[in-house]
Amino acid sequence: MKKKSVVNIALVGNPNTGKTSLFNQLTGLKQKVGNYPGITVDKKLGTCKISEKLSAEIIDLPGTYSINPNTLDETIVLETLLNNDGDSFPDLVIVVAEVENLKRNLLLFSQIKDLQIPTILAINMEDQMDRKGIFIDVEKLKKELKSEVVLISARKNSGIEALKKEIENYTDWNTDPISNISDKIDPAFFKEIETTFSEFSVYKTWLLITQQRNCIFLSKELQNKINAFKTKNEIIKKYQHKETIYRYQKINEILKETYKVNRSEGSDLRAKLDSVLTHKIFGYIIFASILLLIFQSIFEWASLPMDLIDGLFAHLSELAKNNLPQGVFTNLIAEGVIPGIGGIVIFIPQIAILFLFISVLEETGYMSRVVFLMDKIMRKFGMSGKSVIPLISGTACAIPAIMASRNISDWKERLITILVIPFTTCSARLPVYAILISLIIPNQRVLGVFNLQGLTLMGLYLLGFAAAISSAVLLHNVLKIKSTSLFVIEMPNYKLPSLKNVFYEVIEKTKAFIFGAGKIILALSIVLWFLASNGSSAFKNANQFVTSQVESKELSEIALKKKIASYKLEHSYIGTMGKTIEPIIKPMGYDWKIGIALISSFAAREVFVGALATIYSVESEGEDVGTIKERMAAEVNTVTGEKRFNFATGMSLLLFYAFAMQCIGTLAIVKRETKSWKWPILQLTGMSGLAYIIAVIAYSILS
Amino acid sequence: MNNTIANLKIGESGIIEDFSLDVIPLSLLEMGCLPGKEVKLLQVAPFKDPLYIKVNGSHLAIRIEMAQQIRITRL
């Protein structure tokens, strides 16, 4: 084998083995997130210097217990390892195992070893061996596994150099398989595989035969050949059963000679923590307190940086306007691009804080306990205990939340979770809520302690959860999808969170949000700016027209300018759109200007405030009329002469935003995750229809 | 039917009997829940679902429907 100067390394391992710690240790900040071709599972990549002559491109594959996949993430592992021609195909694989669960970890190792890719076993958490009374005969294990084996501690940064040293010589590694599954299962059947398929090794062909879905990299011809070969499902299952039992037998034999544990049964700390954290009463109290802490922090800690960011971008916008030469380009920068970027950056504090908590809870092993506690309750609503984490993430942003639903293996439970996530109050709704609440709810205390505005906000959050739960119940009863009720989760041992892992996770998730949702928000801010500052002939002739109209009347220059600006807005493209939908939105108590904001916020909700700001600032051209809130408060309903944002309209808007599906980014991600337009369209029509009806009812009762 | 994991009380153990993959998914087998291995019930959530078990060195949570399918010989 010829030595390359850059090798592809795949990191594979069970969840909770510290695989990500090793990845972070090897790559440091040299990480990026890419996509696998054809599917949109995040692909974590990083580079690492192995030696003077050799560097590596490392892929951190999703954690899995076996290469037989149950979830989308696990399918990635199989397809990466089977697709020899793929860009991600590894030159070598590092299987990360953990001292305590070595037996189970070796199942995955033996499967990968049988694929005959150069493979090394890295046994992590060696620093815990003494404390746990574990002894491993590494030399003997190497011989039995026909592989290189290194003991490492990714957290303590030990054994990493030894691992790199081994990798330097990867071309010399033994790539013989260690299992002989054909003889143990059904020699005749496997002989037939061998004679029918010359393309791949017997084991690889067997893996392809056992897969339920088609493999994306296979040619149609080959896939058909494989499908034709598939025998009865029961026989495949029987053979898989035999294969797994055989593999465990073999592993047991190997470990009998190489792995010793001298300790009394179980660790006390784990049992003690479990008895409190999964307790029938205390367990829920603790979980509720943690949730409260998370929400409290999101709003308390994030408000200061958010205000700073808000002020900073307003300042930047002004700076651009005053210092750049006047013209269309400057307007685009000052009114389109800068506020657009500001609209993305403002959410970073909340998203970062949320993911800080989630990643700490995941690192410690607590999340599995939440899944355990919540599963029965969530199932009553057609979801799974695993839906809790996506639903909590949904309070920051629905997009990462929907992606977090991937580890729900039951399709019906996963689909319901995806469909109801957008009801949870995401941070994009917050600026809308904040400004409307401050306009229509008096800032006063109730019962001496509670702030009325705060209570309203909390009410809206609860409303969002109630809507999510009740629509889940509805979907649970309506959707006719067979449930497999396959639910197995590992309850990992408790660990102190690694600051490094938490830090990288927060950075990665925040980046994913900025570049995923951010692009759309920015693009739409620019489109919106364009639509508001251009229009058909009436728009272009606004100056002449208005001037001729008012010729007879005595008008000050400012009043004239204002009139022109207002006429322009009305006849801009977006004004025309607002006017067109005015009859439809009138029953909710809105005029065409709010209509403009509504249309714009179908891209992303928070654009609502920005759009109103743009509308009123375009209208007030040049004049300083104070903050957006003051402008909104001053706006008058031309028909009734009342304030435009009175209690009825404000409530109707709040309720509309609580229920309506207004986020192109979410719709796009739902399409990708469900592989169908059916579900995002259902969300769009169902949620927005509900929002419309409720807003109309609220307005007619209150006005 | 009083010889499945679902009938264990907290702290009790049993030995898993042979089963077929038609009723028990491959993934459970792969996570170490094998025939002949000892299984211990550690904890149950309210309404006795899911169940928190220790089997063959693995700590797992499974739902009651699945626990009712796994026959055991009590210890």
Distance (Å, rounded) from C-alpha A302 to C-alpha A69? 39
Highest mean pLDDT among A64-68, A305-309, A604-608, A620-624: A64-68
Q: What pLDDT, on a 0 to 100 scale, did the predictor assign at position B75?
A: 85
E strands present in A255-298:
259-261
Global confidence as pTM: 0.83
Kindly list the domain boundaries of chain B, sorted by start residue. 5-74
Judge contact between B72 and B16, C-beta under 8 A: yes
More confident residue, A78 or A509: A78
Q: What pLDDT, on a 0 to 100 scale, did the predictor assign at position A86?
A: 85
Is the pLDDT confidence value at B11 over 90? yes
pLDDT in tens, A239-251: 999 999 999 999 9
Does the distance separating the beta carbons of A237 and B43 come in below 8 Å? Answer: no
Distance (Å, rounded) from C-alpha A247 to C-alpha A268? 31
Instruction: Select from A9, A18, A8, A267 the least CA-distant residue to A159.
Output: A18
Chain B contact for A582 (CB, 8 A cutoff)? no
Is the pLDDT confidence value at A625 over 60? no
Does the distance separating the beta carbons of B61 and A70 come in below 8 Å? Answer: no
Distance (Å, rounded) from C-alpha A456 to C-alpha A451? 9
In the predicted model, what is the mean pLDDT of residues A35-49? Answer: 72
Residues 73-132 of A with CB under 8 A from B: 100-101, 103-104, 107
In the predicted model, what is the mean pLDDT of residues A522-533? Answer: 80
Does the distance separating the beta carbons of A486 and B34 come in below 8 Å? Answer: no
Give me the residue label for tokens 């505005």.
Answer: A453
Pairing of β A119-124 and β A148-151: parallel
Judge contact between A620 and A538, C-beta under 8 A: no
Q: What residues of B are in contact with residue A248 (Cβ under 8 Å)?
A: 32, 34
* Residue among A245, A487, A491 whose CB faces B52 most closely: A491
One-character DSSP codes across A67-114:
SS-SSHHHHHHHHHHH-TTSTT--SEEEEEEESTTHHHHHHHHHHHHT
pLDDT in tens, B27-73: 899 999 999 999 999 999 988 889 999 999 899 999 998 999 899 99
Q: What residues of B are in contact with residue A101 (Cβ under 8 Å)?
A: 57-58
Q: What pLDDT, on a 0 to 100 scale, did the predictor assign at position A318?
A: 85
* Residue among A104, A240, A372 whose CB faces B57 most closely: A104
Query: Domains along chain A?
Result: 6-172 (3.40.50.300)
Highest mean pLDDT among A68-82, A97-111, A568-582: A97-111
* Residue among A65, A274, A372 whose CB faces B31 most closely: A65
Instruction: Select from A419, A435, A431, A423 the least CA-distant residue to A461.
Output: A423
Q: What pLDDT, on a 0 to 100 scale, did the predictor assign at position A544?
A: 80
pLDDT in tens, A26-35: 998 777 766 5
Q: What pLDDT, on a 0 to 100 scale, did the predictor assign at position A554?
A: 64
Distance (Å, rounded) from C-alpha A618 to C-alpha A500? 47
Q: Running DSSP on this structure, what letter comes out for residue A267?
A: -
**Secondary structure class of A183 (helix, strand, coil):** helix
Write the CA distances from A115 to A17, A105, A119, A175, A179, integer angstroms: 22, 16, 9, 9, 10
* Residue among B42, B45, B60 whose CB faces A490 most closely: B60
Buried-exposed string A381-416: b where 16+ CB fall within 10 A, e elsewhere: bbbbbbbbbbbbbbbbbbbbbbbbbbbbbbebbbbb
Judge contact between A591 and A637, C-beta under 8 A: yes
Q: What residues of A are in contact with residue B20 (Cβ under 8 Å)?
A: 237-238, 241
Q: What pLDDT, on a 0 to 100 scale, did the predictor assign at position A267?
A: 63
Chain centroid to Cα A295, Å, comes to: 18
pLDDT in tens, A112-147: 999 999 999 999 999 988 888 899 999 999 999 999
In the predicted model, what is the mean pLDDT of residues A603-625? Answer: 66
Which segment of A14-18, A340-344, A613-617, A681-685 scores lowest on mean pLDDT?
A613-617
Q: Is the peptide bond before A177 cis (omega within 30 degrees of 0)?
A: no
Structure tokens at A525: 């801010």
* Residue among A244, A375, A489 whose CB faces B26 most closely: A244
Q: What pLDDT, on a 0 to 100 scale, did the predictor assign at position A421?
A: 96
Chain B contact for A71 (CB, 8 A cutoff)? no
* Residue among A244, A280, A489 whose CB faces B30 most closely: A244
Instruction: Select from B62, B3, B5 the least CA-distant residue to B31.
Output: B62
pLDDT in tens, A534-580: 888 778 887 787 777 776 666 677 777 777 777 888 888 988 999 99
Read off φ and ψ for residue A161, nearest 5 degrees.
-65, -40
Judge contact between B46 and B17, C-beta under 8 A: no
Does the distance separating the beta carbons of B62 and A488 come in below 8 Å? Answer: yes
Question: Looking at beta carbons, which pairs linking A232-239 to residues 24 or more positions away fall under 8 Å?
Answer: A234/B22, A236/A209, A236/A210, A237/B20, A237/B21, A237/B22, A237/B26, A238/B20, A238/B21, A239/A185, A239/A186, A239/A189
Task: Round the average pLDDT of chain A to a whole number and report it.
Answer: 86
Judge contact between A58 and A46, C-beta under 8 A: yes
**Secondary structure class of A297 (helix, strand, coil):** helix
Does the distance separating the beta carbons of A70 and B43 come in below 8 Å? Answer: no
Does the distance separating the beta carbons of A68 and B27 come in below 8 Å? Answer: yes
H or E segment and range at residue A445: strand A445-446
**Secondary structure class of B74 (helix, strand, coil):** strand
Distance (Å, rounded) from C-alpha A129 to C-alpha A573? 70
Q: What pLDDT, on a 0 to 100 scale, did the predictor assign at position A81?
A: 93
Residues 401-420 of A with CB under 8 A from B: 409
Chain B contact for A385 (CB, 8 A cutoff)? yes
- Nearest-neighbour CA in chain B from A489: distance (Å): 5
Interface A-B, measured as beta-carbon pairs within 8 A, has a size of 107
Neighbours of A261 (CB within 10 A): 13
Does the distance separating the beta carbons of B20 and A65 come in below 8 Å? Answer: no
Binding-site residues on chain B for chain A (CB distance < 8 A): 20-22, 25-32, 34-35, 42-43, 45-47, 49-50, 52, 54, 56-63, 65-66
Q: What pLDDT, on a 0 to 100 scale, did the predictor assign at position A36?
A: 55
One-character DSSP codes across A321-371:
HHHSPSSHHHHIIIIIIHHHHHHHHTTHHHHHHHHHHHHHHHHHTHHHHHH
Q: What residues of B are in contact with residue A373 (Cβ under 8 Å)?
A: 45
Position A453 confidence tier, pLDDT thresholds 50, 70, 90:
confident
Is the pLDDT confidence value at A654 over 50? yes
Residues paired with A35 in a beta bridge: A42
Chain centroid to Cα A673, Å, comes to: 11
More confident residue, A368 or A527: A368
Percentage of residues of chain A with pLDDT beyond 90: 42
Chain B contact for A489 (CB, 8 A cutoff)? yes
Give me the residue label for tokens 């037939």.
Answer: A192
Fold classified for B5-74: SH3 type barrels. (2.30.30)
Give me the residue label for tokens 């990968």.
Answer: A112
Distance (Å, rounded) from C-alpha A427 to C-alpha A517? 13
Structure tokens at A133: 């009374």
Does the distance separating the beta carbons of B58 and A104 come in below 8 Å? Answer: yes
ipTM: 0.94
Q: Running DSSP on this structure, what letter comes out for residue A601?
A: T
Give me the residue label for tokens 């792995």.
Answer: A259
- Nearest-neighbour CA in chain A from B31: distance (Å): 6
Does the distance separating the beta carbons of A278 and B30 come in below 8 Å? Answer: no
Test the A interface: residue of B16, B17, B24, B31 with most A CBs within 10 Å: B31
Neighbours of A627 (CB within 10 A): 11
Distance (Å, rounded) from C-alpha A593 to C-alpha A597? 7
In the predicted model, what is the mean pLDDT of residues A666-673? Answer: 86
Judge contact between A79 and A61, C-beta under 8 A: no
Q: The dihedral of CA A160, A50, A175, A112: what is its sign?
A: positive
* Residue among A241, A371, A485 whose CB faces B65 most closely: A485
- Nearest-neighbour CA in chain B from A376: distance (Å): 6
Does the distance separating the beta carbons of A274 and B60 come in below 8 Å? Answer: no
* Tally of residues, chain B: 75
Q: What residues of A are in contact with residue B13 (Cβ under 8 Å)?
A: none
Q: What residues of A are in contact with residue B57 (Cβ under 8 Å)?
A: 100-101, 103-104
Distance (Å, rounded) from C-alpha B73 to C-alpha A54? 55
Burial label, A85 (beta-carbon count in 10 A; 0-12, 13-18, 19+): exposed
**Secondary structure class of A148 (helix, strand, coil):** strand
Is the pLDDT confidence value at A492 over 60? yes
Q: What residues of A are in contact with residue B50 (Cβ under 8 Å)?
A: 372, 375-376, 385, 487
Q: What residues of A are in contact with residue B63 (Cβ under 8 Å)?
A: 375, 485, 487
Structure tokens at A416: 């319901």
Chain B contact for A281 (CB, 8 A cutoff)? no
- Nearest-neighbour CA in chain B from A142: distance (Å): 23
Does the distance separating the beta carbons of B21 and A488 come in below 8 Å? Answer: no
pLDDT in tens, A330-343: 888 887 788 778 87
Write the CA distances from A659 to A560, A653, A691, B12, integer angstroms: 41, 10, 5, 48
Distance (Å, rounded) from C-alpha A189 to C-alpha A114? 18
More confident residue, A420 or A607: A420
More confident residue, A601 or A257: A257
Chain B contact for A244 (CB, 8 A cutoff)? yes
Burial label, A375 (beta-carbon count in 10 A; 0-12, 13-18, 19+): buried
Does the distance separating the beta carbons of B35 and A490 come in below 8 Å? Answer: no
